[in-house]
Amino acid sequence: MFEKVNPSHPDKICDRIGGAIVDLGYKMQDSPKIAGECLLGHGNCHIIIETSVNYKREDIEDIVHRIAGFNVKVDLQIVPQDEHLANNQSKIIKCGDNGIFKGCRVNEEEKKLTRIVRALYKKYTFDGKFIYDSETDTLIACQSNVDSDKLKEDLELTGIKNVIVNPLGYWTGGSDVDTGACNRKLGSDLGRAVTGGGLHFKDISKADVAVNVYLHKMAQLSGKTELPVKYAVCAIGDKDVVIDGVSKSYKEITKVALDYIKELGGFEKLAEWGLV
């Protein structure tokens, strides 16, 4: 069973705002340090950024208005990164936090639902969330601002046996119906690989980003159905990450992960759909 949300879900809007802010940070610095939180709802967007970047308020507001709408008010707090955390990474690339991670090859259930949701989003660009259970071949679709009968017709064309559409009826969705928060849809973004830590609104030095992305890429390259990489563990200040008992340079992990994110189009693009 797998849940996938589209980029207009309030939680994903927060992830996208965070991703865009990180992208801007990389334009302003070669190796920025960024960790942020975003909460969105009912016309307000609250953002806290701990960073080495000298952001301008108007640039952050432009990002929020582009992604969340011009009627959203921005409550912004920007503070320097903690001195001890900054010193940890001041000279060489070392792990910026603790973490336990796992890598999983994306399975057919996850692939199938992701294909369906991506295709639907080209037609219905509003807030939507979907659950698929391959064992019973059942899809539950909650898509806002759409005629439920028409949506059911679209989904039945996929050949799925049991299609359930908008169980509570028509709904408008968006952040005026449901608040959004950054990193709240990690199951959608990581699938079975979800463990601890958040994927979004952080620079590549954070293990939550670098190791998750690295393990994901390695898992997809394996060509195997079982986990080619089972678990990775690291602690703040480490120069290496232990992957199934073998040490791997954290510097190399961050490089591979950042290259992958650049191929996607940046941190905002990563936030749109996650890694699955």
Domain ranges within the chain, ordered by starting residue: 10-87, 99-106+182-273, 107-165
Interval 206-212 mean pLDDT: 94
Model confidence, pTM:
0.95
CATH of range 10-87; options 3.40.50.2300, 3.30.300.10, 2.60.120.260, 3.40.50.150: 3.30.300.10
Structure confidence by residue, pLDDT tens digits, 236-273: 889 999 998 899 999 999 999 999 999 999 999 999 99
- Percent share of the chain, pLDDT over 70: 97
Structure confidence by residue, pLDDT tens digits, 100-124: 999 988 999 999 999 999 999 999 9
Q: Could you write out the three-class secondary structure of the chain?
A: CEEEECCCCHHHHHHHHHHHHHHHHHHHCCCCCEEEEEEEECCEEEEEEEECCCCCHHHHHHHHHHHHCCCCEEEEEEEECCHHHHHHCCCCCCCCCCEEECCCCCCHHHHHHHHHHHHHHHHCCCCEEEEEECCCCEEEEEECCCCHHHHHHHHHCCCCCEEEECCCCCCCCCCCCCCEECCCCHHHHHHHHCCCCCCCCECCCCHHHHHHHHHHHHHHHCCCCCCCCCCEEECCCCCEEEECCEEEEHHHHHHHHHHHHHHHCCHHHHHHHCCC
